[in-house]
Structure 1
Amino acid sequence: MSIFTVLLPDIGEGVVEGEVIKWLKNVGDALAQDEPVVQIMTDKATVELPAVKPGKLAKQHIAEGKIAEKDKPLYDIELAAGVSAPQDSHGHKEAPKQEAQVSEKPQATKATASAPVLSATGKALATPATRKLARDLGIDINQVPGTGKGGRVTKEDLEGFLSGESDSAPVSSEARSGNLPAVTMSKTPVFVYEGDERIPLRGLRKVIAERLVESKTIVPHFAYFEEVDMTELKKLRNELKPLAEEAGAKLTYLPFFMKALTLAIKKFPIINSSIDLGTNEIVVHKKIHIGMATATKDGLIVPVIRDADQKSLIQLANDSQGIAQKTRDGKASSDELKGSTISITNIGSIGGLGATPIINYPEACILGMYKIQDRPVVRDGQIVIRSMMNISFCFDHRIVDGANGAEFCNYFIGLLNNPGRLILGS
């Protein structure tokens, strides 16, 4: 019997670990080459890893809900007769012969922080995502004791460091000076009652929770509400729908809003920016990549429409529908889920008159679209019925002042109130 240990391979640039979401095969199951074995979630995407050779699943080294590290054992294959092990260049290695066994879930232990552990280069051991969070929070990560495997610094270590629960050195001068808010983790007890259900906070839901907390912790949000007279836009859309259908596109209101957003950004480029806290600079993005908040069965995901300012209404319609469906089907690639510079969330089809959406950090702005209603409004001194939609913008107040946000919003609304300007591109 030949046992071969499969290591977690390189599954993305800068990805050094991932959560085991689901084992698609049980110990003892036969494996065909390239058959999916395990589902891994990183902070960039969820991927299914295939069997590198045919055989039988002999052992699962990492339990569901636990973290697998790059180049560390993930599972063992009992190779089929006559099958040779893959080359080392594949990132795997031969394991000693052993009996097939079911992996046991490790007992939960409380990690104890020690002195900071530094690599051979003098830097703390941490994932790129954790390093970025440390920079954003103004923490010198080399001063943070790590409780992760091998002394690795985790997000929880950073939170404990800021809340004063770590025995480490104080936070950096930037955080002390008040330029960045400190994170205070709530210690309020949770009241549990008979019949309550516990749902593990893991997988995509955990990633969503962490990113929302990151955004609300770092970014001082300010919201701006307005309403759009959609009457003329409804007429234009109805006129263009048959032409769009001939081109194979379903023309919703979203492409019009995307087009208006790109034109407004051209006039107010600071809206399409981010703060690089590592260099204390505002980065004004020349590319306009629109993130499109998409509801899936697992949670909210934000795929990206790239170079939106270079695309026609038909192209925006096709691209937005295509990427939304791929995202709902779980087939969007990691590249399709990152790199947006501004985002839109559209809950108009569900309902609601307004909300204050959380900024998709590190962007500086998010647009919320809501339902269209026929309302009485005053036009030229007369009460008339018009199709109206409420919208909201949330801005990063470190970048966008209130007056700038209002001017941007007013210009954006003017484009939608006179939708012919969207066709002309001005």
Structure 2
Amino acid sequence: MYKFKFADIGEGIHEGKLLKWMFEEGDKVKDGDTLFLVETDKVNAEIPSPVDGVVSKLLAEEGDTIHVGDVVIEIDDGGENENTKEDKKEEKETTKTETVDEGKDMAGVVGALEVGEDVIDSSDEKDQKEDSNSKKKILATPVARKLAKDLGIDINTLTGSGANGRVMKDDIYKASDKEKSNKKEDNIKDTKKESDNKSYKSNIDIPEIKIDGEVERVKVSKMRKTIAENMILSKSVIPHATSMDDFDVTELVKLRKEQKMIAEKQDIKLTYMPFVIKAVTLALKEYPVLNASYDMENEEIVYKKYYNIGIAVDTPEGLMVPVVKDADKKGILEISKEMNDLIERSQDRKISLDDLRGGTFSITNYGAVGSSYGVPVIKYPEAAIIGIGRITKKPVVIDGEIVIRDLVPISLSIDHRIVDGADAGRFLNKVKEFLQDPMLLLLS
């Protein structure tokens, strides 16, 4: 019998909502078949079966919240119960160790030996002095180490209850239970690291919402909850300042129209966004503080030498920000192709966690939904975000004459702790320069 546990599927994810079972009890499954679909705070993930067998028991219902390390399904693979095998293996290794220790007095000249999966390195008095400040070797079986990893427990912080301080599975389970209990009792965490919705409420006297008519209550999804927490974190930690301007993009509109046919021949949908991404990337190289982040703990500005541009995408479940990696190394069409793929997979909830990580600067396009101006919120811990409005034709005065031009509203929000208004203005002017004369983008 194989007891399948919900494993750690990505950085920072400790639980998920079981959306749908793909099999019922009694069904046959094969190694690699999708067992169930789980919704996390970032993505929807298909969880595959690690073995062939027959579904013996479903231990969670659709809609339940499951945590990393929870057994959610039992599969009869014709073998011994996985937990039983692990227990026997651990018990066998522990017994070996204890037997050797008990025979210590009879060990003679050789002395007692440690037997098990981990080996204690030999050392002399000199080594002990040199390594007095080093970390002590933690004894644990591979099974125990995997369990600790699945539960998000740092095994090096545990004191083992087994022979010679060996960390047992019970020690890990107890540590996991304690951590869950501590999380429930925590009120407000250091705002240098995170701020969540519950802690926010505890510090603010929020009046009770009075309801005078018919309402519908909808449970907040994990994704919406994460968006709310990230917005609170950003606005409570980062002092925002915003600059706005109108860019004349008449030449960009002409160029995009000319190149659109060429892109279509390569099966690429060419929008204005790839040009904006390229312009922003080139401007970031000249003003690197906007491609940085503020490390409050060490009181340092972290300048990033790579350019990963996040694109805010409107999805049915909420806002997602997939990342175009190494945008400085890619051309307009390559950026366009990659961006379109990221947007499509985000809207279908097929985006991977890796595609959502590592951004250094973000762009939000509220012009796509018909809006002009906005005040974008910075994606923590980035230093800035630029918002793009709807392109419209407006009369402007050029050389004393009124002419009709294509204008786009631009908003830039900055982390005012590390970015001054003057730098923000210069950065915007550089982006404007590239977008008003888009040939510079093609020649860069």
TM interval, shorter chain, is: 0.7 to 0.9
Name the TM-score, length of structure 1 as normaliser: 0.75
Distance 2:191 2:379 in 1: 25
Counterpart residue type for residue 10 of structure 2: G
Distance 2:433 2:229 in 1: 36
Alignment of 1:312-391 (within 5 A): 312-391=331-410
What is the CA distance between 1:5 and its match in structure 2? 2.4
What is the CA distance between 1:197 and its match in structure 2? 1.0
* Contact kept? 2:378, 2:414, Cα under 8 Å: yes
Name the TM-score, length of structure 2 as normaliser: 0.72
Counterpart residue type for residue 33 of structure 2: E
Change (3 A) 1:41 1:174: closer
Please tell me whether residue 55 in structure 1 is matched to residue 83 in structure 2.
no
Change (3 A) 1:270 1:288: same
User: Which is worse superposed, 29-38 or 289-298?
Assistant: 29-38
Relative to its length, the structure with more helix (as a share) is 2
Q: Name the counterpart of 1:37.
A: 35
1:161 to 166, 188, 211: 188
Q: Name the counterpart of 1:20.
A: 17
Distance 1:273 1:200 in 2: 36
Counterpart residue type for residue 48 of structure 1: E
CA RMSD of aligned residues (A): 3.4
Alignment of 1:3-402 (within 5 A): 4-13=2-11, 15=13, 17-25=14-22, 28=25, 30-33=27-30, 34-52=32-50, 53-56=52-55, 58-61=57-60, 64-66=63-65, 68-77=66-75, 79=76, 83-84=78-79, 149-152=177-180, 158=186, 160-161=187-188, 184-402=203-421
* Contact kept? 2:17, 2:40, Cα under 8 Å: no
Distance 1:90 1:45 in 2: 33
- Where in structure 1 are there 5+ consecutive unaligned residues? 94-117, 124-147, 163-170, 176-180
Distance 1:398 1:65 in 2: 42
1:151-200: per-residue Cα shift (whole Å, max 9, x none)?
Answer: 43777755x236xxxxxxxx79999xxxxx99834532122344311111
What is the CA distance between 1:289 and its match in structure 2? 0.3
What is the CA distance between 1:257 and its match in structure 2? 0.3
Q: Name the counterpart of 1:165.
A: none
SS of the residue corresponding to residue 271 of structure 2 reads coil
Distance 1:183 1:385 in 2: 53
Counterpart residue type for residue 161 of structure 1: I
1:2-36: per-residue Cα shift (whole Å, max 9, x none)?
Answer: x5422122323564x22224132576462522333
SS of the residue corresponding to residue 409 of structure 1 reads helix
Change (3 A) 1:309 1:151: closer
* Contact kept? 1:228, 1:391, Cα under 8 Å: yes
Change (3 A) 1:172 1:87: closer
* Contact kept? 2:2, 2:79, Cα under 8 Å: no
SS of the residue corresponding to residue 349 of structure 1 reads helix
Distance 1:190 1:90 in 2: 54
SS of the residue corresponding to residue 282 of structure 1 reads strand
What is the CA distance between 1:222 and its match in structure 2? 1.1
* Contact kept? 1:7, 1:92, Cα under 8 Å: no
Change (3 A) 1:351 1:157: farther
Spell out structure 1 runs of 4+ moving beyond 4 A: 85-93, 118-123, 153-158, 171-175
Change (3 A) 1:195 1:314: same
Change (3 A) 1:50 1:404: same
1:274-327: per-residue Cα shift (whole Å, max 9, x none)?
Answer: 122332211111000000111122111111100001111111111111111122
SS of the residue corresponding to residue 244 of structure 1 reads helix
Distance 2:374 2:192 in 1: 35
SS of the residue corresponding to residue 40 of structure 1 reads strand
SS of the residue corresponding to residue 188 of structure 1 reads coil
Distance 1:174 1:75 in 2: 35
Distance 1:382 1:172 in 2: 53
SS of the residue corresponding to residue 310 of structure 2 reads strand
SS of the residue corresponding to residue 79 of structure 2 reads coil
SS of the residue corresponding to residue 191 of structure 1 reads coil
Distance 2:416 2:440 in 1: 29
Counterpart residue type for residue 243 of structure 2: Y
Q: Name the counterpart of 1:106.
A: none
- Where in structure 2 are there 5+ consecutive unaligned residues? 89-152, 159-175, 195-199
What is the CA distance between 1:44 and its match in structure 2? 5.0
1:61-83: per-residue Cα shift (whole Å, max 9, x none)?
Answer: 477352x3333322334x27xx3
Distance 1:390 1:414 in 2: 15
What is the CA distance between 1:255 and its match in structure 2? 0.8
Counterpart residue type for residue 277 of structure 1: M
SS of the residue corresponding to residue 215 of structure 2 reads coil
Paired residues in the alignment total 357
1:17-59: per-residue Cα shift (whole Å, max 9, x none)?
Answer: 2222413257646252233333334455431212344323523
* Contact kept? 2:21, 2:62, Cα under 8 Å: no
